[in-house]
Structure 1
Amino acid sequence: MTTLADATASRTAARPASRTPALRPHRIPADGLYEGPRLLRRTPDGWDERPYERFEVVPQAATIGAEIRGLDLSRPLSGELRAELNRALLEWKVLFFRGQRLSSRAQREFAGNWGELETNPLLAHRDSKDVVRFDKAADAVPTFENVWHTDVTFRERPAMGAVLQLREVPPVGGDTMWADMAAAYDNLPPEIQARVNEARAVHDYLPGFARFYSPAQLAPFQQEFPPVEHPVVRRHPETGRRMLFVNASFTTHIVGLGRAESDRLLRLLFQQAQVPEFQVRWRWQPGDLAFWDNRATQHYAVNDYGAHRRVAERVAIAGDRPY
């Protein structure tokens, strides 16, 4: 069988080296996603690469996502263990823990090691207002599934991170995916990086929540959550690394650009989360827990489980003002 490579080699040998064949006009659409190698840096320059001494780290993808083995998160964390887990979080952006089955109180206490807990009046919660509950069956009100997003970027100080636990898992489906937004930034064309490095964008709660709440339900929160501006590319406050910080749920436009130009640039930036090399996908089991860095990631809850029930509880950790 003759391959394209064989035919190319044969034709190349048969013609003078100076002759260049004419090709018909060809061009892929501008501002798309391109094939080819990706730059996959898990850590920033100057990262202190050291072994982990208090638990086992099992990578789940090239730059994002690691399972942590050998810990019982129902027990209090020592300062040394908390510091080592934080180092793993900065390195892997999302940490997974199998079969923890924490009570809501224990889940809150674990998250509290990283700061004040955040409440969200727009989402259903349990007895404690800082434990959001997603109870999804066939007749449930849809929420943030099937869309790449970063949590609560409509706040002046979006969440630093979140701790999610699955209480009930469908027999098939219901996975969650995360995307590494530092890798997404690294792989932008240099001319796009130059355009967005100092740009700012407006974030608003209305676009995301209008998909499943009525105007009457949304209107009371307009004063509490006015539109806010954040940098399109933020610096991670602990690592200093640049990361894309726009998302399809809450980012409405780029400051200083006309609507058409802003929409076109945002579409390109939103697409970066969809690159498989920047992603990790977690298949849940009951009692599993995920802890992610909301500053460095986007996530996507996959609603492919039909009429089956999926119950998750999330605790969010208050964050800082992006810069």
Structure 2
Amino acid sequence: MATATVETITQNLPTLSLRSSPTDGQEQSEEPYRYAHLLPYFSPETYPPLTPFEHIDPASRALSHSNPRSFLDNATSVTELTPQLGTEVRGVSLAQLDSDARDQLALEVARRGLMVFRDQEEFLESGPDFYRAWGRHFGRLHIHPTSGHPQGIPELHLVYKDANTTFNYELEGSLSTTVWHSDVSYEQQPPGLTTFFLLSQPTTGGDTLFTSQISTLKKLSPQFVAFLRTLKAVHSGVEQAEYSRSGKRGGVVRREPVESVHPVVRRHPVTGEEALFVNRQFTRRIVGLKREESDNILRFLYDHIDKSADNQARLKWAPNTVALWDNRITAHSAIVDYAESKERRHGARITPQAERPIPALEGLQLDD
């Protein structure tokens, strides 16, 4: 898609409006979209390759705290979504957390995989400068190579779909919209703690599925896990870039795609937990195996991830909800089941990068 066409699409997006319900027999009136300033923009600006950096996980600072869950002391409810994955919290304002409490939050996300905070209007209304400052507490902010972002705010990754437009990654001709992935796992230093919220959402549908990659690994036999620890796999951003180059999702590629080799089983740097680290969207092959061997092992692992509902949690969005998850130990998928309603789903993601994945098998070399 040519840049001029992309810019035309972007310029048209802010004209989208919300219709209020008619009252007293009056005709419906149009109102400006409240978050028009955060609609997708597809800048033609390009970026150089990412450079390595040292990541210090803020969760490690909370380990020495006398009560690393004290940031939840004033919560009105703390509910585990499943035994192994996910906690829902009410009564805690994320926007009010100080640096120490944010460290504790990072540790709790590392332990639970997913944290869902309801009634976070103050967070959503704090704006882009706050979003960036929030994300930088947890790591270096990632700028997505192909997705839309608000104009002038490249660090805010957007997902967007309405009645006429989609800038999501959607596979046409597939039986399911479920695509399990860990965000941009093709980067040499993929994300750690991620923050995501919806600015606009359908009345029903548009949920997000999560799975614990710690639990999926633990379900496997010890002998098979021991074998998986010896393996490393290629994660690739090439297909995602080509998807954009074909004119979809905004049609820009700001940074040339990369491929990285990661351990199939990684170790969390703070909790020490081991997690499966392959995903259907970005993992392409297992290094050193013949194609048929690699394909069969990966297909088995993907099917295990897909079908293991006992490792999964489903997030039903509500206004002013903020979700935080640890990309190192979870995978997730959006559910695009609301297309026929023609309603808008507009989400924003703050994506700090973390360390290069640490192999669960000590001594496993990733660069050879």
Same fold per TM (> 0.5)? yes
Q: Which runs of 5+ in 2 are unaligned?
A: 1-62, 171-177, 359-368
Contact 1:144–1:301 (Cα < 8 Å) also in 2: no
Runs of 4+ in 1 over 6 A off after TM superposition: 47-51
Equivalent residue, structure 2, for 1:65: 86
* Cα distance in structure 1, aligned partners of 2:179 and 2:83: 22
Q: 8 Å contact 1:125–1:131 — kept in the other structure?
A: yes
Per the alignment, in what secondary structure is the counterpart of residue 96 of structure 1? Answer: strand
Output the CA distance in 1 between the equivalents of 2:252 and 2:265: 29
In structure 2, what is the equivalent of residue 91 of structure 1? Answer: 111
In the alignment, is residue 109 of structure 1 matched against residue 133 of structure 2? yes
Partners of 2:67 and 2:310 in 1: how far apart? 24
Alignment of 1:75-154 (within 5 A): 75=96, 77-101=97-121, 102=124, 103-126=127-150, 127-144=152-169, 146-154=178-186
**Higher relative contact order (CA closer than 8 Å, sequence separation 6+):** 1
The residue that corresponds to 1:29 in the other structure is: none
Deviation string 1:74-119 (CA, Å, 9 cap, x unpaired) is: 23x3233123212211221111111213133333332222122111
Question: What count of residue pairs does the alignment treat as equivalent?
Answer: 274
Q: 1:311 aligns with which of 346, 363, 366?
A: 346
Amino acid at match of 1:292: W
**What's the counterpart of residue 157 of structure 1?**
189
> Shift in Å at residue 195 of structure 1?
2.1
In structure 2, C-alpha distance between the alignment counterparts of 1:209 and 1:137, rounded to whole Å: 23
What displacement does 1:209 show? 4.9
3-state SS in 2 of match to 1:54: helix
State TM-score, norm by structure 1: 0.78
Is 1:170–1:308's contact at 8 Å kept on the other side of the alignment?
A: yes
Paired amino acid for 2:86: G
Cα separation, partners in 2 of 1:288 and 1:115, compared to 1, 3 Å: same
Give CA deviations for 1:27-51 in whole Å, capped at 9, x if unaligned. Answer: xxxxxxxxxxxxxxxxxxxx99978
1:285 pairs, out of 303, 315, 318, with: 318
List aligned pairs for 1:249-260, cutoff 5 A.
Answer: 249-260=281-292
Query: Is 1:53 the counterpart of 2:65 in the alignment?
Result: no
Query: Where in structure 2 are the equivalents of 1:203-282 lying within 5 Å?
Result: 203-211=235-243, 213-214=245-246, 221=255, 224-274=256-306, 275-282=308-315
Q: Percent identity?
A: 32
- Given that residues 235 and 284 in structure 2 are in contact (C-alpha distance below 8 angstroms), is that contact kept between their aligned partners in structure 1? yes
Larger radius of gyration: 1
More off after superposition, 63-72 vs 293-302: 63-72
2:356 counterpart letter in structure 1:
R
Q: Quick one: which of 329, 345, 360 aligns to 1:296?
A: 329
C-alpha spacing 1:169/1:80, structure 2 compared with 1 (3 Å): same
Judge conservation of contact 1:177–1:300 (CA < 8 Å) in 2: yes
TM-score with structure 2 length normalisation?
0.69
The unaligned stretches of length 5 or more in structure 1 are 1-46
Q: Is the 8 A contact 1:99 1:288 kept in 2?
A: yes
